[in-house]
Amino acid sequence: MEEFDVIFLDDDKKTVLANIKVEYGDTAVFPGKTPTKEPVAGVKYTFVGWVGEEKLAVVTDNVVVYAKYETETATVTNGDALYNASLQNAEATNYNVVVEAGQKAVSQQKAIEKDSRTAEQIVSDIVANGKTEVGQEINKDFEK
């Protein structure tokens, strides 16, 4: 019987997670543990399948599939998101600070207190967009 290569790649399309031989007409099954992806900027990922997995059901040629991940936004807590927020200088925005997920927020508590939104709303915006403007609108004469 003829054998074909089935290559399982991570979502970067470079990292080989497995390379197996499958006989013509057989089903290809990933031989390892469920793939994982490291969190990025406080966002966690869950493996949900393979891009091109329909080719694994009946192998008739060489196959390459890529890991597919979804973000786990529901597991981020308010405390985590505010703690992991990076606050940048106000020069690039019309607000006191810009909050981005991924680094510690330590000295911007005053801007957060001036914001009219609840912590949950701020966190939701960070989770949804990766960043948010925090504080109150300021004019060009704002002093740092």
Q: Best-predicted range by mean pLDDT among 11-15, 26-30, 126-130?
A: 26-30
Tokens of 140: 């060009």
Which pTM was predicted?
0.52
Residue 88: closest CA among 96, 74, 98: 98
The string of pLDDT tens digits covering residues 97-124 is 555 555 444 445 666 667 777 777 777 7
The string of pLDDT tens digits covering residues 36-89 is 998 877 778 899 999 999 999 999 999 999 999 988 754 445 554 454 444 333
User: What's the pLDDT at 122?
Assistant: 74
Residue 104: closest CA among 69, 79, 74, 72: 79
Residue 57: closest CA among 49, 48, 46, 45: 49
**Whether CATH 2.60.40.4270 fits 3-74:** yes
User: What's the pLDDT at 128?
Assistant: 76
The string of pLDDT tens digits covering residues 127-141 is 777 777 776 654 444
Where in the chain is CATH 2.60.40.4270? 3-74
Q: Rounded distance, CA 129 to CA 17, Å?
A: 30
The string of pLDDT tens digits covering residues 87-96 is 333 333 344 4
User: What's the pLDDT at 84?
Assistant: 47
User: What's the pLDDT at 110?
Assistant: 62
User: What's the pLDDT at 43?
Assistant: 79
User: What's the pLDDT at 125?
Assistant: 77
User: What's the pLDDT at 142?
Assistant: 40
Pairing of strands 63-72, 3-9: parallel
Q: Rounded distance, CA 41 to CA 128, Å?
A: 12
Residue 16 three-state SS: strand
